[in-house]
């Protein structure tokens, strides 16, 4: 990461890097945000499949719902915009659990946390950094790999983010999903989501939703739409063409050197040693 103008693309709040598209004033005001009992939060670390999951959710609801842009995206006027929405709100966020507006916790709002193998996230984020003008330039995979492992990337350390949420896995209002399971058996995951949200969805509807929600289908839909900033469910960009890249599972093998893989695995084992879900990420070493 080089020049000072690039440094200005990011700022730090409570020790975590955010793009300037999340204003410090907005981040400070989140504590006062008025959650509603029927809000559904769609939570992820960047590049974990949020847009894909948002597309599935939009199809699951038969009534009027609004998938907003992320709660931390924009300036202070953001909170007022959200308050004015009359329909049920599905609110995406990349915030870790500790930074979440306390009202969501008090009101036991339903929250869906989608996660993905962090090795694939690292590769996906590397491309995102390269293609996204809102993020500093990173010239090489080696340089980015180091930043990712140290947590010196936007939204902070993947490990800290995941663990902050995993601590609450026993709470009935939080559902954990894995990107790889969506790729492997989407109907099963869609059924799980519908039960969690108490939605009455027939098996035929689920099959139909899955047909319209294949990764490729959603990538094509997204690329047909205009880059309307209000369409984004990612706090890092409003350019929808940057959202879906490959969606592959295991793409990290095309980037990680054997040495990097060993280093990653050592850090993973150390940081995740108390994690009950750590095994969910060991798809193929």
- Give the largest Cα separation in the chain, rounded: 55
Quickly count: other Cβ atoms within 10 Å of residue 77's Cβ.
11
HSE, side-chain direction, 13 A CA sphere, residue 140: 4
Length of the chain: 285
Cβ-contact 149, 8 below 8 angstroms? no
Q: Who's near 126: CB < 8 A, 6+ residues apart?
A: 138, 141, 144, 145, 148, 255
Q: Is 47 helix (H, G, I), strand (E, B) or coil?
A: coil
Q: What is the DSSP letter of 62?
A: -
Residue 77, C-beta contacts closer than 8 angstroms, at least 6 positions apart: none
Q: CA–CA separation, 278 vs 180, rounded Å?
A: 14
Catalytic residue flag (residue 127): no
Distance from C-alpha of 209 to C-alpha of 204, rounded to nearest angstrom:
9
Grouping H, G, I as helix, E, B as strand and the rest as coil, residue 9 is coil
Please report, for residues 49, 91, 112, 234, 241, the alpha-carbon distance to residue 238 in angstroms, rounded to integers and kept in the order given: 16, 16, 22, 7, 9
Please tell me which residue in 94, 127, 161, 231 is annotated as part of the active site: 94
Sheet holding 65-67, edge to edge: 65-67, 88-93, 40-44, 110-115, 174-178
DSSP letter at 68 equals P
Q: Are 196 and 126 in contact (CB under 8 A)?
A: no
**Distance of alpha carbon 133 from alpha carbon 123, whole angstroms:** 18
Active site residues: 94
């Amino acid at each position: 990461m080089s020049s000072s103008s690039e440094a200005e693309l990011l700022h730090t709040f409570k020790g975590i890097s955010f793009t300037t598209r999340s204003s410090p004033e907005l981040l400070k005001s989140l504590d006062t945000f008025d959650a509603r009992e029927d809000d559904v939060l769609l939570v992820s670390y960047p590049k974990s499949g949020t847009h894909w999951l948002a597309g599935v959710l939009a199809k699951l609801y038969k009534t009027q719902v609004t998938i907003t842009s992320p709660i931390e995206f924009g300036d202070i006027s953001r909170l007022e915009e959200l308050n004015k929405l009359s329909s049920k709100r599905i609110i995406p966020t990349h915030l870790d659990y500790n930074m979440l507006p306390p009202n969501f916790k008090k009101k036991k709002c339903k929250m869906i946390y989608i996660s993905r193998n962090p090795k694939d996230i690292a590769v996906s984020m590397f491309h995102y950094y390269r293609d996204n003008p809102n993020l500093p330039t990173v010239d090489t995979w080696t340089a980015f790999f180091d930043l990712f492992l140290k947590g010196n990337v936007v939204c902070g350390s993947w490990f800290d983010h995941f663990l902050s949420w995993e601590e609450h896995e026993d709470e009935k209002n939080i559902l954990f999903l894995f990107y790889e399971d969506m790729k492997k058996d989407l109907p099963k995951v869609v059924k799980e989501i519908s039960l969690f949200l108490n939605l009455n969805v027939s098996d035929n509807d689920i099959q139909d939703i899955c047909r319209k929600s294949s990764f490729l289908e959603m990538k094509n839909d997204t690329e047909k739409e205009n880059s309307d900033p209000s369409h984004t469910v990612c706090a890092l960009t409003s350019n929808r063409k940057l959202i879906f890249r490959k969606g592959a599972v295991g793409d990290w093998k095309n980037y990680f050197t054997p040495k990097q893989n060993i280093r990653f695995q050592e850090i993973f084992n150390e940081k995740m040693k108390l994690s009950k879900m750590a095994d969910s990420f060991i798809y193929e070493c």
